[in-house]
Structure 1
């Protein structure tokens, strides 16, 4: 795991200018790679490649950028490429630099042999930037699900890229500005795939590559999708579930075993869900020594599941590291730091909790953990998946207001795309409706011409949803939006790498994913039981209490649940939402926002109160982001 950044500006051919600009871009990625730093300049071309390294594989020979012996190829890689030893043997790899035996080094011989299709031979979580000097071609590549981030900005001067937006904003040709449309999307939680909070900066979408070709001193760009989560147009009827149970078990064992490979100790994140418990159970069986398990606990019985995690740790003999978090840790300086790392708003302080946990992992001298992200996406684990297929349940519990809408909503763009409006977007449509009256006059004018819900639908490939089963459609649209846009960013990579810690989501191994889409819906969800096929595959791994347990909402306690949490959030609101700051951002009508916050604290309906909490979090963070990235305010220290 590392940080990669760089730029290509054919008119910028001063070595001093290239070096100065690249160093500034690398400086803000130190947290992603504190172990080493490298760069490669092609001065005559105006191209600079930069890399900060977190050493996990090939500790003594992983320096990047990596170059071919003839100097025609150079590459920077962020992530882990599994099975590299076998590939290295099969390819009889050329000797590269001192990085010749690292996992990242297989990219160049693969590219030499297969050209652009080399990426199809990569297994793992990765972002790759490869320069072909002979072809005057630059290739930006992102892994299949977007586990590893990669952003870019194209303008008249050229292109800049980075593992995080903040590195791009340090380039001298780029002026940091918040994007008004993206502000609307952040307030409703759902970003348009490929967008960011900042004008002119885009996210390379998962399973895509951006090809930059120089012709006569000008750069031409083209996007190519090289992989997608493709559900079949029909499923096997009356299938034998045992076949799929065994298929999931075999592939998950292989994925966990693969991710235990490292030159440093690998631990596990452990919540009370069947996903992380399955990972821990398999890792314990596969590894000789006891596994270190890291668990977040909250001081709220309704939102804490550490008792189940403790049961699993005891069953497996894992050494459990339990981190109890209160409002003191979830708000204040840590909240501001998590916002800076996330580069967008988040609806719940689970992101802050994840920041604290990665900090604890590093304090325990661990650099890598295996996680359970992706299981719900592949096996139908979320309640909105079940609702879209099997219909509405009366009691949404703590899901209401944040994960499930309390009423059924429809939107023409989504109905045209899918044949229905997926349940996962409906609570955010309700959030948008509540936000709209709070906006300033200029933002109200924007909303007259811009439909954010339709824009999200417009970013989905209709060929991948039409003619598919309703459950497949719901899972696919969620994966193309919220999986990448929130779970793998502010819920994953950004909070993990904030403290130089690598997360390895075993369920998102593409061998599992490509098999999971073939599993019939009534095997994924059977007799109303979500993730049935996974439960059966892990029946000998999971405690009975967990095997029979329904999906639990893994989130931090919202502010309305405790007067102490409310006071902590209100302190931050008082500091950041001043009249001058609200006016400078220009998103809200000051008085309407203040009236909303006053009324929010008086709300007694828990569903509406959860939605109010979400809106306050988003509004607060928009002003924090403006202060951090536009005004250049320094980050606070965290005890």
Structure 2
């Protein structure tokens, strides 16, 4: 797990600056503090750099990237992990391939030379983002894993394609300027992003399951985008309905295999553990597969309503795990808010991102580099309350009045803390999403429902620029109708979440960015694509049975889970909002005074200072309904995040900051 960077010039004779490549690696030193490398052969117009976190093949001289292979034809740099790579290495070795390292990364260039890129991607299993340059073809490939677990950003300047693992890596190139994009700003304020876009003008993401093929001719770039994988739920005609035990056993088998593969490392591997069945299932399987007790890391909040530590402790005891509990309070969360935005490079609606950054810091302090996590389970097995709501509204046939009332009661009672965030406060309908999906999924409604607040928050000039902009339409345009047509409503709801909130939130500010901020690799076993492809075949009525979400997963893990966990309904994991704690609220106001005062807001020209004051007053009013306060809390966090993005990336010269960082590290060429 590392950080990668690269520069592809529009002409081979245009030299790529060695120090700029190294600076790009230095600005993301947190992703790879163990070593660095760069490669920019003469008269090729291509260079890559790499900051290394050693997990597989700890020998620093052998494991250093970028790889420069096949007589110099291939330059390759990779961030992530490939699982089952030993088998592939064995098969390639039998065919006469010679490997220079024991690294999992080296399998890609060897596969590519034999099979080509499209066929190579079918063999890759894991979380990854990489760049591969083929000099003979004069082609650069940029590839991102199927779910977007690992990040990969890119931009085009007058003379170069610049790419890297983080936005700041791209901004470290002298030709790239940080400018907050108006549309990106709007989406920062409402939480949900348009797939492939960022907060910064001209800076894009390689979308999950996609490959960019970039060639050059006569000083021009040709960029082809290819989708090589997507979450493909079968249509009713394609779906087979087998007995329950087939699906239960299939989930158990595939998940165990995914966990076993992710325990492979040359360093100790721990687990994140909350009070949900997802992380508990991972810990249970990891403990069963390991000869030694697993170290389990748990976050504890100073609010009984939001804290799950006691339930996590019951699971830790049941498995014999060594539990390590990090207790967090309100002061600590907002004290680390600014640092979190530097790493997430997007706004956050809740300080859970801060809590996870602090947890990854703690994990590294006790000398762990790798943890297994439970992300992806809710996406595959329909765990979120929004999915239950959509199943009830659009996917349940034959419910009588009594059953319908019980559904509504159960949903509202068990998730009342999250109305306005995880569940919509009011119904929001996007006509364009309705046209594409058939309905507006409940998972998007809380965020699209913030659109009116977001418009009022915009600087008047930007508000006028976006007067006809409909965020739902922009999202709908990025959804692939081929994977929505004729699907069950629950399939559609899960697909939309996977394409928006999973990649844009859970795997970004809830995953890679706050984990790698402290040089720690998280491995989400549920997002193994073999498991995901099997999960897609599970009938909707087995993903949600009655009012019980994740039914198949519960049954598959029944023997591992204590009764309280097996029977527990989904409880969304988030930190207590600021308005629930006076000390936390005062911390938030203090940060606004420092970074988002009326003067600073006017100077930046992004946010309307008067409406920010209006929201502050609403939040402090005892007459404001609880669900409104949850929504306003999220929006205020986004406003603060926008101003911190401006502070970190627009007010500062990132290329100079990267150069200074390289000097401090002694990375001078």
TM over 0.5: yes
Any idea what SS the aligned residue of 2:538 has? coil
Q: Quote the residue 1:167 is aligned against.
A: 169
Shift in CA distance, 94/579, structure 1 to aligned 2, threshold 3 Å = farther
Q: Deviations over 1:520-571 (max 9, x none)?
A: 0011111221000000000000010000000011000000111111111111
Deviates more, 1:604-613 or 1:247-256: 604-613
Q: Give the whole-Å Cα distance in 2 for the aligned partners of 1:276 and 1:398.
A: 22
Q: Distance in 2 between matches of 1:250 and 1:176?
A: 47
How far the C-alpha of 1:589 sits from its partner, in A, is 2.0
CA contact under 8 A between 1:68 and 1:97: conserved in structure 2?
no
**Residue 363 (str. 1) matches residue 365 (str. 2):** yes
Q: Does 1:43 align with 2:45?
A: no
Does 1:605 pair with 2:625? yes
The residue aligned with 1:233 is: 235
Pairs within 5 Å for 1:562-601: 562-601=581-620
Q: Which residue of 2 aligns with 1:79?
A: 80
Q: 1:248 aligns with which of 234, 242, 251?
A: 251
Task: For 1:82-121, list aligned pairs within 5 A.
Answer: 82-92=83-93, 98=100, 100-116=101-117, 117-121=119-123
> What is the CA–CA distance in structure 1 between the aligned matches of 2:364 and 2:455, rounded to whole Å?
42
Question: 1:238, CA displacement in angstroms?
Answer: 5.2
Task: Number of aligned residue pairs: give it.
Answer: 632
Q: Higher relative CO (CA 8 A, sep ≥ 6), structure 1 or 2?
A: 2
Counterpart check, 1:393 vs 2:393: no
Contact in 2 for aligned 1:3/1:78 (Cα 8 Å):
yes
The answer on whether the counterparts of 1:239 and 1:520 sit within 8 Å (CA) in structure 2 is no
Q: Which residue of the partner structure matches residue 403 of structure 2?
A: none
Q: CA deviation at 1:95?
A: 6.3
Q: Note the C-alpha offset of 1:437.
A: 2.2
Deviations 1:414-444 (A, max 9, x none): 1100111111111112212223223221122
Match of 1:122 among 121, 124, 135: 124
Displacement of 1:592 in angstroms is 2.0
RMSD: 1.6
Map Cα deviations across residues 238-277 of structure 1 (whole Å, 9 max, x no partner).
Answer: 5311100000000000000000010000000000000000
Which among 564, 569, 579 is matched to residue 545 of structure 1? 564
Counterpart in the other structure of 2:506:
487
Q: TM-score, normalised by structure 1?
A: 0.96
Report the CA distance shift for 1:30/1:94 in structure 2 as closer, same or farther (over 3 A). Answer: farther
* Gaps in structure 2 of 5+ consecutive residues: 394-406, 658-669
Tell me which of 387, 402, 413 is aligned to 2:432.
413
Q: 1-side partners of 2:382 and 2:442: how far apart? A: 13
Q: After TM superposition, give the deviation of residue 25 of structure 1 in Å.
A: 1.0
Is contact 1:67–1:96 with CA below 8 Å preserved after alignment?
no
Picking from 297, 301, 324, the partner of 1:298 is 301
Aligned residues of 1:68 and 1:96 also touching (Cα < 8 A)? no
For the Cα contact (< 8 Å) 2:209–2:227, is it kept in 1? yes
Which whole-Å CA distance do the structure 2 matches of 1:185 and 1:589 have between them?
Answer: 16
Residue equivalent to 1:21: 20
Whole-Å separation in 2 of the counterparts to 1:169 and 1:96: 37
SS of the equivalent of 2:355 reads helix
Q: What is the alpha-carbon distance in structure 1 between the residues aligned to residue 617 and residue 254 of structure 2?
A: 52
- CA drift of 1:475 comes to 0.2
| Secondary structure, counterpart of 1:45 in structure 2 | coil
Once the two structures are superposed, residues 51-88 of structure 1 have per-residue CA deviations (whole angstroms, 9 ceiling, x without a partner) of 11000001113111112241111210100001111101
Correspondence list, 1:113-262, <5 A = 113-116=114-117, 117-234=119-236, 236=239, 239-262=242-265
Distance in 2 separating the partners of 1:311 and 1:269: 14
| Aligned partners of 2:189 and 2:454 also within 8 Å | yes
Alpha-carbon distance in structure 1 between the residues aligned to 2:373 and 2:222: 39
Where 2:534 maps in the other structure, the secondary structure is helix
Check whether the contact 2:56–2:102 (CA below 8 A) recurs between aligned residues.
no
Q: Supply the distance in 2 between the matched residues of 1:420 and 1:605 (Cα, whole angstroms).
A: 27
- Equivalents in 2 of 1:191, 1:21: separation in Å? 30
User: Tell me, what secondary structure is at the counterpart of 2:75?
Assistant: strand
Matched residue SS, 1:449: coil
Give the secondary-structure state (helix, strand or coil) at the position aligned to 2:545. coil
Match of 1:338 in 2: 340
1:286 counterpart = 2:289: yes
CA contact (8 A) 2:360 2:518 kept: yes
Is the contact made by 1:8 and 1:45 (CA closer than 8 Å) also made in structure 2?
Answer: no
